[in-house]
Structure 1
Amino acid sequence: MAAGTLYTYPENWRAFKAQIAAQYSGARLKVATSAPAFTFGQTNRTPAFLNNFPLGKVPAYQGDDGFCLFESNAIAHYLSNDTLRGATPQAAAQVLQWVSFADSEIIPPASAWVFPTLGIMQFNKQATEQAKEDVKKFLAVLNQHLNTRTFLVGERVTLADITVVCSMLWLYKQVLEPSFRQPYPNVTRWFVTCVNQPQFKAVLGEVKLCEKMAQFDAKKFAEMQPKKETPSKKEKGGKEAGKPQEKKEKKKEEKKEEKKPDPEEEMDDCDAVLAAEPKAKDPFAHLPKSAFVMDEFKRKYSNEDTLTVAIPHFWEHFDREGYSIWYSQYKYPEELTLAFKSCNLITGMFQRLDKLRKNAFASVILFGTNNDSSISGIWVFRGQELAFTLSEDWQIDYESYDWRKLDPDSEECKTMVKEYFAWEGDFKHVGKAFNQGKIFK
């Protein structure tokens, strides 16, 4: 079984392909996205990195045995199992067909349409309109193919589904509003089915489909352009300052040439889109490293039996100093009406906490029936305090809950972890019938 490290920047859709493939195959994959393991724009320009990955691009994979790979499709293929790659020669060829289809038919028009809405590329009306037409063409092809199929190849998820979903991720998140995707119901049904598989959700979190088509924002585009230096007063002088000015200009030109990266180190357009997003400070940077690997536990939880494998693994590796366990209960049960609305309340919270998922795990359950229900759950956070206070982006919902820190060594904690993780048990502290739950991964 493959084991190694994937170097990338956060939220890189190309890297998602390898991460999802590893979720299915059980490959042991560590993802390095931040210092000290990896800093995009710095680590990938060092001689040591370029020695293994000459282009300096990410994602890049290095196995524990020293085996190195670049190019996202190759990495995803290597980390896959036979089912993902195609169990027969025919199926394998079909998987390759759709992987190539994504690169040649989906990514070019998707980039031309989406990039301007992200402020990375200047808007060109003609190019955008042509991109929209090209998107309609490949959606029509996919819609026809999926008319009688659940997945692209065979009866199970393959690398074909993983690759095409990841290639379309930004389209569905940014521009494919309901009216545009309406003629292609089979594609949207397939996309939603895929992104809601546990292995996809473990990597992507909750994927919210676009409600309104994003447009080019000239102000955002201007803000993301490199700022030009303002000439000094001396440089603005007349003929007397002419010669010194020429020397200064030559020196500036030389400096610019020195700073310009080699062609092989430059990012491609897709790298630029996500890497150009402002990098927020890691809210957990002040905490010491922990031996508890959250992703490893989540992989067990998603792919293996909860009671016999995932929970024993959790307690065997849980770091009592580096992590804490909390019980949460919604403060206003009298306001809970229809069950589906209560579920949306939970889902909305998880969506807003998406960037917390690398350092947290929760199982939150809705108990009861319409107009007589309650919401409670078990949360595991990095650190000994509630993680919500570490970032303003995480503070929208948590004050609507009562929080109680649990003692990991107590029987109460062990019982509640078992019941909430497995979604079964007496739940004596609740007193309402089990109804429905949500898992935050």
Structure 2
Amino acid sequence: MSLGTLFGESETRSILPVGLVKAFKLDVKLEARGSAAHKAAGFSTEKVPAFLGPHGYKLQESVAVLFYLVNLHDPESPLLGTDLETKAQVLKYISWGTAELMDPLTNIIRVLLARIPFNKKLLDTSNTEVDNYVVELEKRLVNHTYLVGERLSLADLFVASCFYRCFTLTFGKKWRSSHPVFMRWFNTVAATEYLSYFFDNVKFIDEPVAPPKPAKKEKKDEPKKAEKKAEKPAAAAAPEPAPEPKKVKHPLAELGNPTIALDEWKRVYSNKDTRKEALPYFWNTFYNDDEWSLWRVDYKYNDELTLTFMTNNLIGGFFNRLTGSTKYMFGCAVVYGENNNNGIVGAFLVRGKDSAPAFNVAPDWESYSYTKLDASKPEDKAFVDNMWAWDEPVVVAGEKKEIADGKVLK
């Protein structure tokens, strides 16, 4: 009887689970993420790796799937550690890998593969974080062959697989030659039966991949003006002072002032009970369909989120980059779910009828999707109330998810 189906293929967190199935020769079917079988399995998200066992048993999250697969083969496998201390160390490294190490690695992937608008500061910061993590690993590896004890474990296998994309994007020849300790460890681990199926086919780059360049606007050729012969001036004219650069107005400033100032709503929201006083004021007194619009905002990459506090920091960074538009908008974004299974959603009030002029001041605004809400629909109105009150669970794919954290843009 089949032991089940593993969903995931070449995604970074799926490399090792697939390798375990192959090396252990487990009777587990391999299916790609997003395949018909994956969709039919009924997982709440398409996050991989994911495992579907007999009798509808479902399992997601890298750490859980890895431990389950090893235990299917041998509950006493030394890959898990050989005593309480080493088992705890293995768990520590895997948890660190999927939560902390993958965060800057994911940022690098998204920037260099143009999945988000180019952000030099984000790329530089993430590269520095990764280099610092490598330095920390080398402090252990300079005197030891492996991360835990003196034998190969899941800690080595998983952490090494996390660096996959670096070797195709940022770890060029120069970087590799300057990190002999790290490379000795990585090459040793990548050559094992658990990872060689994958890394034997990965071509390492010679030079780091250059960041994507924004498309240049073509300049229209202007007809040359006929040159006039200048008469000899009586005296050289004094140079005119350069005009001061005009301050660029926010596009929403063209709409003029609303009937009720936005600051008045923000003051009510900050000082009154949200359900009893603030929201009734908003709907009955402040909101005007002719002057404002309401938007649901969803993060596009929830499957890449890890710890809830880090997700909330992501919202904070997004809000900081929206500072240029705070005169024209208000909203809340919340983190729903739990560690390693969470998402971002929010409701926003925007001056005018379009979301773009308010949100596109943030370089990463395209990492979110924007759905216009209709204040005349009870379900849309209830969604706004719940987002701004934070006292009801968020419904995602028909399932209620508790709000873990959030931030207010005002």
TM-score of the superposed pair, with normalisation by structure 1: 0.45
Structure number with the higher helix fraction is: 1
Whose Rg is larger?
A: 2
TM-score of the superposed pair, with normalisation by structure 2: 0.49
